[in-house]
Chains A and B, each alone.
Chain A
């Protein structure tokens, strides 16, 4: 068990470009979550997957954002036509949901800077 990993760790892009982030969860975890965190704030929920199904999406997730989890393993978060307001830390977490048990474990995050 190597923990949750995220790539890249840092991304600098120009406004209008598309970016894609990857998250590899802890193996056998059935839930995967994406969050966004800006300076001085707590993480804000974006979306989550139960296996390969995307079950919940925040209204924060505009149509420029899309997430996938093919085959219920790793996940990708894509931001199209990036804006300066997208600059933030993007965090991924995974958990094994069994009954009411649902403890999350976070990856190190991807810090996005949009110039």
Chain B
């Protein structure tokens, strides 16, 4: 199956800092989503972004499908941004998740 790698695996930021999370995938995909998993395990949709760039408040994402990567930008981080961020790619038959980036934002 397709390989999905996320980096960095762990990230600690001071509140107010910016960060970039990366998702690499090993084959062409139909779609890509970014999720934030909260401490209770709920996966919250951040972006549905098969290609191009989208922005939502302090978060933005870019997917370059031809080069098989996606980036999630978090600006002016807040403590509520803490949690695990996952990218998931859709091959048409199933979704494959990366192993996630664990983000801790300290005040």
Contacts and interface: CB of A to CB of B under 8 A. Distances in A.
* Chain A partners chain B: yes
Interface of A: 33, 35, 37, 41-45, 48, 55-56, 58, 89, 91, 93, 100-106, 108-109, 111
A37 B88 CA distance: 14
A37 B37 CA distance: 12
Interface in B28-68: 30-31, 33, 35, 40-43, 45, 48, 50
A84 B24 CA distance: 33
A91 B96 CA distance: 14
A41 B96 CA distance: 12
Contacts of A104: 33, 45, 88, 95
Interface string B63-103: 00000000000000000000000101010011111111000
Contacts of B88: 42-43, 104
B31 A42 contact: no
B23 to A, nearest CB: 11
B50 A42 contact: no
A100 B94 contact: no
Q: Is the interface of A mostly helix, strand, loop or mixed?
A: strand
Contact of B30 (A43, A102, A108): A102
Given A89-B41, A106-B43, A109-B42, A100 B96 contact: no
Contact of B98 (A33, A35, A42, A45): A42
B104 to A, nearest CB: 15
A33 B90 CA distance: 12
